[in-house]
Amino acid sequence: MSKRMAIGGALAASLVFVAAAIAANAFHRVKPAVFDPAHSHLVQSGWLSGIGCPTSQDIQAFLPPDFSRTGTVKVADTGCPTGDSNDRTNEGLLLAKTGPTNNNAAATARLKDVPSTVTELGYDIRKSGGPASAMGSHCGAGAPRFDIVTKSGAIFFIGCNSPPGTVTAASTGWTRLRWGASTLAFGQVGSPAALSSLNVKEIHIVFDEGQDTGPDFFGLAVLDNVDVNGMLVGQGQGPKDNEDEGDNDDHHDD
């Protein structure tokens, strides 16, 4: 083998390694957890098969004209025109808080390997009639919300309907919400700041409003296709979810 071929082979191997490292550090997981210091057992967070927004699912349907025979047809909800290609079982992220909001407990989910500059956040929520509707999942000012922690330790919030997200797709069962680069995230301390101006360290989804919070008084939300800068995650990772240090069941950063 010539010296040129050896150098070329080493360069190619190096590029593959760099590409793999970049891919490994890109947003690709949403890790459920609960914060429940009193062990109230009134909060839950987890990916479940069969409750997500169907982008393209085969079903066996009863067919017209007399519905006496069945055939395979595809179900594609207009509320989620795109989705996570790795989701094979139509998973959705269940976030629930039973009982009162003043219980110091929350269902959470950590967005893994988020970039330091975020220009878009979003998700699909199992809800009809838009964010302010009482039909379907809870969508309040404070839950489900994104908690954005910067590298300086500051915390900013984007709630399901505060500030209002842009509805980019909707159906009778699902609403797709997006918050863009210029969205003003509310600061825990100080003035709001544009989403894209934040030097992001980590992001969590937090659900801590219970059944005493309207307009739905439901205390539960189902999300799918969590979006960071256009990358969608709509499924869990099975046993791999147990491998992350520091992501125990009592993790919460609010």
pLDDT in tens, 103-142: 999 999 999 999 999 999 999 999 999 899 999 999 999 9
Q: β-strands 220-228, 120-125: how paired? A: antiparallel
Taking 50 as the threshold, does the pLDDT of residue 17 lie above it?
no
Q: Find the mean pLDDT for residues 10-26.
A: 48
Taking 50 as the threshold, does the pLDDT of residue 253 lie above it?
no
Share above pLDDT 70 across residues of the chain, in percent, rounded to a whole number: 83
Query: What's the one-letter identity of residue 150?
Result: T
Residue pair 173/222 in contact by the 8 Å Cβ criterion: no
Out of 80-84, 131-135, 239-243, pick the least confident. Answer: 239-243
Residue 246: band (very low, low, confident or very high) from pLDDT cuts 50, 70, 90: very low
CA distance 197 to 174: 30
Taking 50 as the threshold, does the pLDDT of residue 241 lie above it?
no
For residues 245 and 97, the model is more confident at 97
Question: Tokens in use for 160?
Answer: 């399901």
**Close Cβ partners of 157 (under 8 Å, ≥ 6 residues apart):** 142, 145, 146, 147, 148, 185, 186, 187, 188
Q: In DSSP terms, which residues pair with 184 in a beta bridge?
A: 194
CA distance 126 to 130: 10
| Residue for token pair 């967070």 | 45
